[in-house]
Amino acid sequence: MEITYREAIVAAQREALKNDDRVMVMGEDIGVSGGPFKTTVGLFEEFGGARVRDTPICEEAFVGAAMGMAVTGRRPIVELMFADFMGVCFDQIVNGIAKHRFMCGGKVMVPLVIRTMGGGGTRFGAQHSQTGETWVSQFPGLKVVCAADPSDAYNMLRWAIKEDNPVIVLEHKFLFTRTQDVDLDAPISADILTPAVLRQGNDVTIVATLAMVERALAAAETLAAKGINVEVINLRCLRPLNMEPILESVRKTNRLLCVEENHSTGGWGGEVAARTTSEAFDYLDAPPERLTLPDWPMPYSPELEDAAMPSADKVVETVVAMLT
């Protein structure tokens, strides 16, 4: 069925609410209004205010309340309006939710999903344009997934709701109108966490997440016209990080480029590059490269924001330089 990224998110939540009375959705303006980005449209009318619950503008409070619900038998889905707002409730996420099962000796599960939208390109400025990927991916106890297309958005969220551990589902605001044929009856599977090779190639391995995946694919088309064939991998899951598909690709292409919408320092690309160097050093014909945001906050000016974002043209330039 051809649906948008936004509709895929709604469909996954509707399925869960329909099939499991323990599931509930909560967040700011997610009830009657259908969510600030319309990712809960129709759910309030179908399931009522007790299960699709508007919250005050207090992320620390309602994320903490969701943890309490999770450890006492519910399966809450929390929507944070912007990924940047994870900073407001960071203590609840990394010191409470992430560690609770460990501190209870594994006896208490925390089946909780936090959905949040991030990323640049939509003119929201410095405080509403971060992806949050690297903020949460280093903490044991959390699972962190990144939806790069409608199929990812649908299947990752379905899997996350069934998972007995806390999952952060990162979405990208720039992708909400993207469409794709999605099998709404596909089985729920952890295979959605495996990095996906979206395009085969022999010259360079490109690894990307979220909106950078489609930019990497666009760059691949341009590079193919130049006689350069790159392999594009949608990383999908930051924690746990499955390196094997990446290493297998690098053993073939002998070069690695990580494209991420994060600053270079502390970005996930550094981890991927380090582990590739450690585990596939003999296969590398050149040092791994990274294409990231510059080392300053996201500008509000459209021209400056576009210049800051990794683009398909920048991917092309970087790949050509790697092969020169």
SS (H, E, C) 240-261: CCCCHHHHHHHHHHCCEEEEEE
Is residue 208 a contact partner of residue 234, using CB atoms and an 8 Å limit? yes
Question: What DSSP designation does 168 have?
Answer: E
Residue 128 annotated in active site: yes
What angle, 0 to 180 degrees and rounded to 10, lies between the N-to-C axes of helices 5-19 and 150-162?
A: 20
**Nearest-angstrom CA–CA distance, 158 and 162:** 7
Cis-peptide, bond into residue 76, ω within 30° of zero: no
Residue 172 annotated in active site: no
Place of tokens 């409470």: 96
Is residue 185 a contact partner of residue 303, using CB atoms and an 8 Å limit? no
Of 215, 300, 295, the closest CA to residue 263 belongs to 295
Which residue among the candidates 7, 15, 128, 214 is catalytic per the annotation? 128
Q: Which two tokens stand for residue 294?
A: 């510059």
**Nearest-angstrom CA–CA distance, 184 and 34:** 21
Question: What DSSP designation does 38 have?
Answer: S
Q: Side-chain half-sphere of 32: how many Cα atoms within 13 Å?
A: 0
Strands 179-181 vs 2-4: parallel, antiparallel or unpaired: antiparallel
Q: Side-chain half-sphere of 84: how many Cα atoms within 13 Å?
A: 13
Which residue among the candidates 7, 15, 28, 59 is catalytic per the annotation? 59
Q: What are phi and psi of 172, to 5 degrees?
A: -125, 125
Strands 23-27 vs 75-80: parallel, antiparallel or unpaired: parallel
Place of tokens 């999908």: 236
Which residues are annotated as catalytic?
A: 59, 128
